[in-house]
Structures are given as C-alpha cells and as structure tokens.
Structure 1
Amino acid sequence: MKKVSFFMNAYIDLFLFVLFITIKILVYGSQMQPDYFSYAALLPPVLASVLILSAISLLFKNKFRIKFLYICNLLITLFIIGDLTYFRYFKDVISIPVLVNGVALGAVKSSVASLIKLTDFLYAADLLLMVPFIRGYRAKDNLELPKKLRFSLLMICLIIGLTANIKSFYSLSKEQPRLLSTMYNKVYITRKLGAVNYHSLDLYNSISAGISRLTPLSNVEEKEIRTFLQTNSREESNLKGAAKGKNLIMIQVEALQGFVIDSKVNGEEITPNLNKLAKNSVYFNNIFYQTAAGGTSDAEFMTNNSLYPASSGAAYFLYAGNEFNGMPENFKEAGYDTAALHGFTETFWNRNVMYKKLGFNNFYGEKSYTVDETVGLGLSDKSFLNQAVEKIKTLNKPYYSFLITLSSHFPYDDPSKYGTFNVASYEGTLLGNYMKSIHYTDEQLGIFFDKLDKEGILKDSVVVLYGDHYAIPKEQINQLSTFLNKSSLSDIEWAQLQKVPLIIHFPNESPKGVNDIYAGQIDIYPTLCNLFSLPNKGLMGRDLFNSKEEKVVFRDGSFTDGKYYYMAQTNTYYNLTTYEKVRETEILKKKKDDVINQLEYSDDILKHNLLKKFKSEDK
C-alpha cells in the first residue's frame, strides 16, 4: 500500500493530465458533431493519443515532466477553443495553413468575437486550478521512481497508445481510402480520431506537403491532369458568343444565400430588386457555394479561375506566386479593360497581390473611395456602389468589372443603419438582422442598376450576380427552420439550403428564365468563356448553358449529382427525391472516387504551379 501511495503521489500530475485531457477532447468532440457523436467510439483513439504524450513526458524527471504536461495541456486547450470558434463559421477545423494566413481573421474582429462563447473558456479551468498544485508539487523532489521502473512505465504507455492508435488509423484508412493523406475532410478525421491525433496528422501532412511541393510530379501524374483539363475544355454551341463585345459587370454579393430570393417577412419581399432582376434574367436556382477556409476569397478565386479552393488555408495567400489562367487575364487578352472594385482594405485576403496576378488592370480598394458612410465592417454598400458607377464609367470599353459588396457581412451587427425594414418576430435575432442587412444591400443594388440603366451602360453589358457563401450558421438552424415553416431541418435539408443565387442578365433581357441545373461557383468562368467567345483552357468547371452533366464538388469531398447527395462529414448518401439514406453502389463509389481525383488534380495544379508549366509547354 505504501508503494501504491508513493506511486500515486509521484505521478498524480500524470493521472490528472490523462483524466482532464481525455474529458476535454471527448466533450469537444460532442460539440463538433453532436448528432453523430459516440463517446465509446472516440474514447480509444483519444486515450491512445493522450497515453503517447504521457509516455513522452516520462522521459523527464518531476520538474520538467510537470512543465511539459502543463504546456501540452495549454496547447491542446487553445486548439480546442480555436477549433470550436473556427468551426462555427467555416464548418471546418484549424490547420497549419490556416494559422499561417490567420492574420486575415484579425481584420474582422467583430465576426470572430461573435463566434466565441464564454462556455468555451471552461476548457481552461483546470489550467488555473493546477497552478498552485504545480508550485507545491515542484518542491517534492524526493517523489521520483527509479529509472528502470520509469522506463517500464514509459514503454507500457507507449505500446498501449501506439497499438490503439495504429488500429484507429488503419480502420479509418480502410473506411475512407486516401482521407489521411489528402485531409479533404478534417471534421470527419477529428470526429474519428480526436483533436490530438488530428492536429498531429495535420502537422505531419503540412510538413510533407511542403516537401512534396519541392518534388516534381511524375510525367504520368502530369499527363493525367493535363488530359483531364483538355477533356474538360470543349467547344460549345448553345449561346456561343452571345455576349461577345459586350461589357461584363460581375457582382459578388456578401452572404447572399438563396433562401431569401422570392421570400417575404411580415408580408414584404426581402430582396425585391434581386427578385425583379432574376425574373428578367437567366436565374440558376440550384447553385451551391463551394468555399472553404478562404471564405469570400475562395468564391472570388473559383469564379475567376475555375479551380477548387486550397485544401487548407486560403489560395489567395498560399499560392500568390503561381501563374493562373485567370478570367481577367483572359478578357484582357481579348482587348478588354479589367478592374476589381471593393470598399475594404486592399491587403485583406491578399487582394492587392492576387488581383494583379489574375490580370486586373486596376484595383479600386478602400483608399480609392471617400469613406463617407460606414455600415458593418466598412464602407457602406450605398456609398460604394454609388462611387463604383463613376469608376466604371472611366473604364475603356469593352471592360470586365468585378465588384464585391460588404455591408451584409456576418455578424450583421449594425441594424440601426440597415433601414426600417420590419422583420416582425425576428427582431433582435441573428436571422432578423441578416434579413435587414441583405434587404439594405438589395435596395442599394436596385439603385445601382437604375443608375447603370440611366447612364446607358446596361444596354451594352452582361451583368452576372451571385452570392459568395452561406449567411446563417448551423447554430441558428432553429431560427431558419421556423422561418421556413418547418418544425426542424434534417441534415440533408440543411445541405440543400446551402445554395446561392446566380443571375445572368443579358441586354434586352433575352434570354431569360429559370435554369435548375445543379452546379457551383466553379462553373461560372467556363460559362462566361462560352458567352464571350474566350479560350477555355485549364478550367475545372463546365459551361452551364451546354452541359448535361449535373455535378457539384465540395472541398470536403461531399458531392451531389442532382439525384443523390454524398455527405462526407458523416459518410452518408441521400436520395434527393425522398431525402432518405441509401447504400453506396458501385456507381456512387466511382463518382466519389472521381470527386477525390478532381480535388487532388486541383491541389496538384496549385502546389506545383502546373498551369505555368503547361503554358510554357504549349508555347
């Protein structure tokens, strides 16, 4: 009993570390995916990872061991709080590339602050409680096991931890081949392996990716990617050249989610001007946003490059040194003037660098405007769009102008400036504030279109308008389900709501009508190539006026073909007619494999700057 008591006293810090960290990660896991969470399933890999850290700590004597464990506890706690905050907005977990370009989040402090919950800091409670214990424990130098016994304990922890971890990793790799190397579904990995294993794997893969970027692809791999791009680029006939010689005015609207189109609150239309525009245009009502960690910048990146977002972090930061087949450059080579217009800080999302790289002749950022009114994060949409008209008038015809709005940015915390739109029972809620903000932006867009019409610009221009990403986070699912007159929303119903409007308005309002093809933001550029008779090279999307294939690929490996929806975060297939779960068939498995191949092609194009090489070889 004395030996047991001595052992417990000597290693009480170790026991507490295993206990506290295991509990933290299990609770964290339940918050990440509460509907599909199992404590019993997650416990083995979590305990295994904690035992491995415990084994490492046994290399040190008391004083250094307790410091090591405290630092590990601190880092794990910070990652847990960071992951939960990040997940609430991006539906993903933090990774090394995200941390590298994480400075971008610093400029939207109100957005980040609104995502943090006070209860998150309960994860750090044990760190405070342990401080006086550590100070008293340090003085007990006599509590030390013999080296041989300490080594035996180390080996026991290590063997148990590694054996259990290897089993968990192997099981996941059998269930989802290539998942551990591609990391395309980080949430699923975290749910299956726990926070410590995920972040350890992320660190390993980030280092490996850095090394692989220095290692050229094989000729076979390059040929496979080139063949895909060539096969994906084909001449079309329907509406070929219908917009040739016209101006292009493309507008990316902040947080414009599809459910507001043609919807009313308190008997009033939320977006009356966009509703009117949609009726007089070609309105694509099944367009999904495909953004990832890059948020708004991912939407810009996809629509102007027709490549998928970076697997982690933002392409605007990670691949700013690459060469692209950018839409601005494509228009410029066809004799167009090109300009990007946005009323926010020029350096945010690295736009001042990327816009030049993509081929924009001019970038009118915050410093180019008179900041006479702010709404939300910065220059109001009213002032921005009013000043944008004057800047557009100075462009040489024909031109491609790309505008990004700002006022409807999450967390919609400036309701006093959105006007008097009555949201009835939603007053004071996040959904209500969002509806006010998007109604305000809609009003300013209506004024903007009227000015373009009066200036004679619309009759010579094609207008493309789309939303960049979702507006309502899943934490507010109850508010949205109530608004949609539903008692609740299932996973597949929620997934089906993750759409953004895509409106293409032609001069003389012809053609027009609703197009219900299932597609994504990556398909906008190829569609415009067809309309404006531009070269369609190195693009991963397809022309929406000619394609018969319905396909949307999401960054986490999920996809839909209009008939079925594969949800990668739960590894589940749904029938879109019945919304019932279905088993994986050989056809669906092949489609899933093709999706992963396409994501890897896009990743390799970015990591190895392949478009530069392909251009050089073509010359």
Structure 2
Amino acid sequence: MNISKFKIISKLRDSKIFKMLISNIDILLFSILIFIKIMNYAKQISPEYLYIGVTHPVFASILVIVSFSVLFKVNKRIRYLYLLDLIISLILMADLMYYRYFKDVITLAAVKNAKLLGGVSSSVGSLFNVKDLFYLLDIVILIPFIKRYKKRESSRKKKFLPKFAVFIVMFLIGISIDVKSVYAVAKEQPTLLSSMSNRIYLTKMIGNLNFHAIDAYNYISTKFKNSKKISADDEKEIKNFLDQNNAVTTTNLKGEGEGKNLIVIQVEALQQFVINQKINGKEITPNLNKWINKSLYFDNYFYQVAGGNTSDAEFMSNNSLYPAQSGAAYYSYSGNQYDSLAKQLNDKNYYTAALHGNNEGFWNRNVMYKAEKFDDFYGEHSFNIDETVGLGLSDKSFLDQSVEKMKNFKQPYYSFLVTLSSHYPYDDVKNYGDFDVGEYEGTLLGNYLKSIHYTDQQLGVFLDKLDKEGITQNSIIALYGDHFAIPKDNTDQLLKFENVNDTSDLQWYEYQKVPLVIHFPEDSHKGINHTYGGQMDLYPTLANLFNLPKQYMMGKDLFNSDSGKVIFRNGSFTNGKIFYVSWTNTYYDIKSGKQVEETDELKKLRDEYNKELEYSDDILNHNLIKVFENGN
C-alpha cells in the first residue's frame, strides 16, 4: 500500500501539470494573496460588498497585472510580483485609513495633498490599526522562500513564444471580464466612470485595482482635457443653468444686513447631535444652546465636504461651488477667479479678513484667501501663540485675540473665523478641562464631547464679549460646523450615545447634519427653520441678506427657496423628502425611513443632480467665472 502511494506521488511529481504548478507557484501564490487582501479590504469598507459578482472583476484585474509577469525570466518575474505585492498592500492600507476618516477611497488627486498629513500626524496615527499589518505579513514571511525558489527555478529556461501566448490568453481573459464589469456600471450610471462621484459604490462594483486604474486614467485625461478649451455650447449650457439657479423669485429678508458687519464662524468638527443634548445631566454645548434660542437655527443643514475636508467647507461657504472632484479645490484651483462673498462685499466697500490660528500655508489658505479677495489673512504669525490646545493655538486665545483685532477693523467688515481646538482625534484631553462624560471616558466619542464642550465655552465667551462690546447690535453672525466629528467606523459609539438601534445608511446621513445659526441684531427673526440645506447654500442666503448680486452660485437662498435640494460630492442627495444613498444605490423615504423603489422621476432627478456636479467641475477646470466675467 505504501509502495503504491509512493508510486502515485512519484508519478504526480513527474507529471507536466505538477511541474507547471511548481514552476509557476510564485504566480499562483501572488494571485491568491492579493485576492484575499482585496476581499478583506472590501469587507471592511462595506460588509455588503461581498456578493459573488464582485469576485469576477477582482479576479480579472489580478489576472491582467499577473499576465505581464509570464513574459519575464524567473528572477525578474519574482521581483516584479514581490514589488507589486508591496505596492498593492500599501495602497490597500492607505485606502483603509483614508476610508476611516473620509468614508471614501483615496485618489491620485488626494495624494497631492499628502503633505498636509504632516500637520495632522496624530490624526493619521489614530487611524492606523495593528490589524492593518496583515497586509504586509506575507511581504516579510516570503523573503526566505523567495531566495530558495529563485535558486531552484533560475536554471529553467523557457522559449519566448510560448510565454507570449500564455500572456495573451491571460491578458485577454482578464480584460474581457473587466470590460464587461465596467460596461455594466456605465450602463447603469452613465456618468459615474467619468465623474467618479460615488467612489465607494464604484469600487464595490469593479474592485479596488480597477478603481485605481480608472482613477489614474481620469486624472491624466482630465489634465489633458483641461488643457483644451471647453466648447461654446457647453459654456452656454452652464451659463444658462447658473442664470436659472440664481434667478430671484421671492425677497424674504432681502437687504436685512445691508451696512451691517458680517461675522462668520466655522467651528471645527461641530456636529448637530451635541446641540441641546446632555450627558450626566449636564449640557454639552450650553453656550451655543443659549445663542440658538435667540437666533435663527437651521436644523436640517448638512456638511457637503469631500477630499478637502475643512477647506471644502470654507470653499463652499464662500463661493457656493461644489468641492473638487478629487483632492482639494484650495490646492487644485487656487489660481482661478472667483465671485466670492469677500469679493462681493469688497465691492460694497467692506473690509474683509479671514482669521485662523493655524499655519498660513496649511490647506494653501495664504494663496486661496487672496484668490477669494480677502483684504487680509490673520494666520498663525499674526497671533501670539501663548496657549496651545489640540493642533495649535487654543480656541480661547484665538477668539480672545480675534475680538481685539475686530474692534480695530474699519466698519463695515466681514470677518471669517475658523476654529481649531476641537480637531480630530480629540486627544488633548488634559487641556479640554473637566467635563464628566461618564461611561464614554477614554473613548473617541467621550474625548470629542470634552473637546466640543471646551470649544463651546470659548465660543460663549467670544459671543458674550461681542454682545458686551455692542458689536452684535450692528452685526449679523453666522455660525456652522465644518464636517463630521465621528468617523464612520466609530458610528456604533454615536448610535449607542443616541440610544438608536437603526444602523441604516439613512440613519447615518441623519447624523451628518451640522448646526447653522444666524443671529440678527436685537435677537430678531429667532426661531427654527426646517428647510433642508447645506454649506452650498450659505453664500446665496447671506447674499440675499446683504443685497449682493447672485451670478455664479450653485446653492440656494434658504430664506427664499422651497427646494430641499442637497447634493453631496459622492453622488448622494436629498430633496427634503427622498434621500438617495449613492454607495448602495438606494432611495429612502425620509418620513418613514423605509427604502423605496427607483422611479423614472427619481432617476431623472439623480441624473440632473449629477449634471450639476459636472457643471461645477467644468467651472473649476476651465476657470469659467473668469471667462463669463470677461464676456467671452
């Protein structure tokens, strides 16, 4: 029996199939390992990702890149596969960390902003998980095996023509499956591949490697296309849209702020769920709650940031243009001409100033504020850095010094202030002061509550000081949050805090609201406005109050619009009644919370809103405001 087994094993070893497997074990091993890594990454970014269909494009993309390896000699082939393994593993790790913060997939344009990570190294470090080293485990383990395999196989020589034939077969099979997968996406959502407005969903449908290949193609082709002029017909189409979007129909509160100062405060990571909320019987934001009670409060206001995060919030609020398709508009389009809030107020003889306690070059603010026509930018070097909390100058010191500066501003003025202390990852707890967060002590949510309670205290002192100095009597003050506080992968803490069991994507979006508070002199017009809106709508709303011309805004005036339109850069949107979640291609009825089937009307609305994103991209890519201003 043992002899027969030995003979069988010997025959198997001598068989062509076995020899072929052994001589190509590096290719097989690489393919299996990369497939496992990609599917593991896929599971982490979207549990519903793992349906049978996605394995096809993942397998196909691996087949395509592996096919080239068969053309090389063994030593070079092994080197090629090993290097590829390392590169793909690092990309997957970067994708995971990026997803944990932005709930998106990293793009080439976003990589351009990598230098910003130096200023938020603690944020990046907190996004790393020890389990991420799983992606590099094989890189280390395989080193001794690779050396032995190289020695064993290096003597084997193969003719080029058979290798080329194998390459062709593998490449064509992989490409065929990939083309089929990509075509299915293009048929379902025609603009998705070019706009990449919904990167998670796209990755889900075609796999991570194919996504990055298309992203690279789009990045290069966009650079090439943008070097060419946009057609006159496309320009006219965009101009017609802007004319219709900016047409004035009603005039509620029109000119209410004329001649008054405008003070806009963008608060770092201020989400709506902390407003009027208590923990252990104590208010989290007592000062904001007090000011909300004597202001106009918009309770259905969403952040709409993308890869530019905080800078996107500034960009939208001051220009009413959507964030860049990839990366940050503050970097990619700082050379453009803008019809910004500062520019329009300058034209009405306002003094305009931006104030922020961080480094002037961070997010390219020193360049972008000039493009937006602010008269002055008071950055880190304009303040006495006498106290640091979080990433830099404390909100307490920043706001105290800002009041003193504003008291000397020529009136009327527009002051745009950006806070800093409540920046993710909220780990400077020793400087946030004593605030009991109970069972959440030591958690990300607990640390956030401490940080935002600290910032609330400083905002309270600041606003009370403005009141005491009489500044509020001749000023309109707008305050809003810039973006999310709790990353997607920590949502369970937030839902527990809110005592909510619903983990649907609609519920997640409900927590992506940020407060918008507008205070008028004498506490007039106070109350709650339930209109659905977002950061795109702040400039048009303020333009109405200050009687500024509306020409190139893509948002709406919240005082004079019955539209609940809010479009997100990833392709999700709401009209105030229906919410479309792009990454699952699902529609929800907001009132009932239940999913609804797509209708022709909803599909038309989705296509229409995607078109708006394309219009905004064209405005940025081709500097169309300058073109329109010049009358070309």
Question: TM exceeds 0.5?
Answer: yes
Q: Which amino acid aligns with 2:413?
A: Y
Structure 2 counterpart of 1:180: 193
* C-alpha deviation, 1:279, in angstroms: 1.1
Q: What are the within-5 Å matches in structure 2 for residues 12-91 of structure 1?
A: 12-34=25-47, 36-91=48-103
Q: Which amino acid aligns with 2:178?
A: N
Equivalent position SS for 1:217: coil
Q: Which amino acid aligns with 1:105?
A: L
Given that residues 39 and 50 in structure 2 are in contact (C-alpha distance below 8 angstroms), is that contact kept between their aligned partners in structure 1?
no
C-alpha separation in 2, matches of 1:566 and 1:606? 26
Q: Deviations over 1:317-359 (max 9, x none)?
A: 0001111111111111110000000000110000000011101
* C-alpha deviation, 1:511, in angstroms: 1.1
Q: Which amino acid aligns with 2:16?
A: K
C-alpha separation in 2, matches of 1:106 and 1:78? 18
**More deviation in 569-578 or 230-239?**
230-239
Equivalent position SS for 1:119: helix
Q: Which amino acid aligns with 2:588?
A: Y
* C-alpha deviation, 1:39, in angstroms: 4.5
Structure 2 counterpart of 1:203: 216
Count of aligned pairs between the two proteins: 617
Q: 1:345 aligns with which of 322, 345, 359?
A: 359
C-alpha separation in 1, matches of 2:53 and 2:131? 25
Structure 2 counterpart of 1:462: 476
| 5+ long unaligned stretches in structure 2 | 1-13
Structure 2 counterpart of 1:146: 159
Whether 1:493 and 2:493 are equivalent positions in the alignment is: no
Structure 1 counterpart of 2:314: 300
**More deviation in 57-66 or 287-296?**
57-66
Q: What are the within-5 Å matches in structure 2 for residues 92-131 of structure 1?
A: 92-131=104-143
Given that residues 408 and 434 in structure 1 are in contact (C-alpha distance below 8 angstroms), is that contact kept between their aligned partners in structure 2?
yes
CA RMSD of aligned residues (A): 1.1
Equivalent position SS for 2:484: coil
C-alpha separation in 1, matches of 2:499 and 2:43? 28
**More deviation in 420-429 or 377-386?**
420-429
Equivalent position SS for 1:406: coil
* C-alpha deviation, 1:488, in angstroms: 4.3
Structure 2 counterpart of 1:132: 144
4+ long deviations beyond 3 Å: none
Given that residues 71 and 160 in structure 2 are in contact (C-alpha distance below 8 angstroms), is that contact kept between their aligned partners in structure 1?
no
Whether 1:264 and 2:278 are equivalent positions in the alignment is: yes
Given that residues 256 and 469 in structure 1 are in contact (C-alpha distance below 8 angstroms), is that contact kept between their aligned partners in structure 2?
yes
Q: Deviations over 1:104-163 (max 9, x none)?
A: 122100011000101011111111122222222333322233323212221221121111
Given that residues 294 and 526 in structure 2 are in contact (C-alpha distance below 8 angstroms), is that contact kept between their aligned partners in structure 1?
yes
C-alpha separation in 2, matches of 1:315 and 1:160? 39
Given that residues 26 and 39 in structure 1 are in contact (C-alpha distance below 8 angstroms), is that contact kept between their aligned partners in structure 2?
no
* C-alpha deviation, 1:2, in angstroms: 3.5
Q: Deviations over 1:42-85 (max 9, x none)?
A: 21101101111111112211121111111111111111000000
Equivalent position SS for 1:283: strand
Given that residues 519 and 552 in structure 1 are in contact (C-alpha distance below 8 angstroms), is that contact kept between their aligned partners in structure 2?
yes
Q: Deviations over 1:556-608 (max 9, x none)?
A: 11100111000001000001111111111111111101110100000000000
C-alpha separation in 1, matches of 2:168 and 2:226? 36
C-alpha separation in 2, matches of 1:39 and 1:9? 32
C-alpha separation in 1, matches of 2:361 and 2:441? 35
Equivalent position SS for 2:631: helix
Q: 2:452 aligns with which of 438, 454, 466?
A: 438
Given that residues 293 and 313 in structure 1 are in contact (C-alpha distance below 8 angstroms), is that contact kept between their aligned partners in structure 2?
yes
Q: Which amino acid aligns with 2:170?
A: C
C-alpha separation in 2, matches of 1:479 and 1:88? 14
Whether 1:523 and 2:537 are equivalent positions in the alignment is: yes
Given that residues 9 and 143 in structure 1 are in contact (C-alpha distance below 8 angstroms), is that contact kept between their aligned partners in structure 2?
no
C-alpha separation in 2, matches of 1:251 and 1:143? 70
* C-alpha deviation, 1:24, in angstroms: 0.7
Q: What are the within-5 Å matches in structure 2 for residues 421-570 of structure 1?
A: 421-570=435-584
Equivalent position SS for 1:325: coil
C-alpha separation in 1, matches of 2:201 and 2:118? 27
Given that residues 105 and 112 in structure 1 are in contact (C-alpha distance below 8 angstroms), is that contact kept between their aligned partners in structure 2?
yes
C-alpha separation in 2, matches of 1:541 and 1:100? 28
Whether 1:584 and 2:598 are equivalent positions in the alignment is: yes
Q: 1:280 aligns with which of 294, 308, 328?
A: 294
* C-alpha deviation, 1:6, in angstroms: 2.6
C-alpha separation in 2, matches of 1:529 and 1:315? 22
Structure 1 counterpart of 2:168: 155
Equivalent position SS for 1:514: strand
C-alpha separation in 2, matches of 1:45 and 1:191? 10
**More deviation in 296-305 or 575-584?**
575-584
Given that residues 10 and 145 in structure 1 are in contact (C-alpha distance below 8 angstroms), is that contact kept between their aligned partners in structure 2?
no
* C-alpha deviation, 1:234, in angstroms: 2.1
C-alpha separation in 1, matches of 2:121 and 2:103? 18
Structure 2 counterpart of 1:4: 17
Q: Deviations over 1:380-414 (max 9, x none)?
A: 10010000001111211000000000111011001
Q: 1:239 aligns with which of 245, 253, 256?
A: 253
Structure 1 counterpart of 2:380: 366
Structure 2 counterpart of 1:595: 609
Whether 1:213 and 2:235 are equivalent positions in the alignment is: no
Given that residues 10 and 144 in structure 1 are in contact (C-alpha distance below 8 angstroms), is that contact kept between their aligned partners in structure 2?
no
Q: Deviations over 1:476-505 (max 9, x none)?
A: 222111211223432211111110000000
* C-alpha deviation, 1:549, in angstroms: 1.1
Q: 2:304 aligns with which of 290, 297, 300?
A: 290
C-alpha separation in 2, matches of 1:471 and 1:559? 20
C-alpha separation in 2, matches of 1:249 and 1:597? 33
C-alpha separation in 1, matches of 2:50 and 2:15? 39
C-alpha separation in 2, matches of 1:392 and 1:143? 78
* TM-score, structure 1 normalization: 0.98
Given that residues 45 and 165 in structure 1 are in contact (C-alpha distance below 8 angstroms), is that contact kept between their aligned partners in structure 2?
yes
Structure 1 counterpart of 2:177: 164
| 5+ long unaligned stretches in structure 1 | none
Given that residues 563 and 576 in structure 2 are in contact (C-alpha distance below 8 angstroms), is that contact kept between their aligned partners in structure 1?
no
Q: Which amino acid aligns with 2:552?
A: G
| Inter-CA distance 39–546: structure 2 relative to 1 (3 Å threshold) | closer
